[in-house]
Amino acid sequence: MTELPSEAYLTGTQINYYLICPTKLWLFTHHIMMEDESEEVQIGKYIHETSYAREKKNIIIDDKIALDIVRQGNKLVICEVKKSMKLEKAHLYQLYYYLYYLHKIKGIEEVEGLLLYPEQRTRKKIELTEAITHELEIMLSEINGIIKSPRMPKPVRKSYCTSCAYFEFCWV
């Protein structure tokens, strides 16, 4: 098992935000939280709470990793519930990070991921590969560089900025 520096232990949300917007990542990590006021976030929370009612939900590991759903059987299955497929790459890598954490940090060998979009009735099964592991380790280094910076990265306008909880902070 590879030993990682403690600073590499991030949250899945930080991985997600890194891929969406480094500015959002920096603000969130520095406790500038705007999500509670966001209608989009509230809708996502509602979908999470009302979908898959019979599943074992909201499992917290090491105060860092918040797993939406955990299924146990022949193989441990970690499920991530999302509102829409619009930011799928960020969703995938958040789930890859959970698999990485469970494998590298917790030593769990038999684990796979399932990305769930209940509104679209879509699911995507994923497994952690060596290539994804390598990409994640590069991301972890880049994320640590961003969050340790004393200055917020300059915002870059993207098509989805208007629905972001941080829109007014960045652009008004």
The verdict on residue 35 lying in a domain is yes
Q: Structural domain tally of the chain?
A: 1
State the CATH number of the domain containing residue 66.
Answer: 3.90.320.10
The verdict on residue 155 lying in a domain is yes
- When computed from its CA atoms, the radius of gyration of the chain, rounded to whole angstroms, is 16
99 neighbors 84 (Cβ within 8 angstroms):
no
pTM: 0.86
What pLDDT does 36 receive?
65
Q: From CA 20, how far away is CA 77, in angstroms rounded?
A: 25
The verdict on residue 2 lying in a domain is no
Q: From CA 39, how far away is CA 53, in angstroms rounded?
A: 22
The verdict on residue 1 lying in a domain is no
The verdict on residue 75 lying in a domain is yes
Range of the domain at 145: 7-171
Q: How would residue 40 be classed by pLDDT, with cut points 50, 70 and 90?
A: low
Residue 38 has pLDDT above 90, yes or no: no
- The percentage of the chain sitting over the pLDDT mark of 90, rounded to a whole number, equals 52
Q: How would residue 171 be classed by pLDDT, with cut points 50, 70 and 90?
A: confident
What pLDDT does 1 receive?
40
What pLDDT does 172 receive?
81
Look at 74 and 29; give whichever has higher pLDDT: 29
Q: From CA 79, how far away is CA 12, in angstroms rounded?
A: 13
Residue 3 has pLDDT above 70, yes or no: no
Burial status of residue 134 (CB atoms within 10 A of its CB: 0-12, 13-18, 19 or more)? exposed
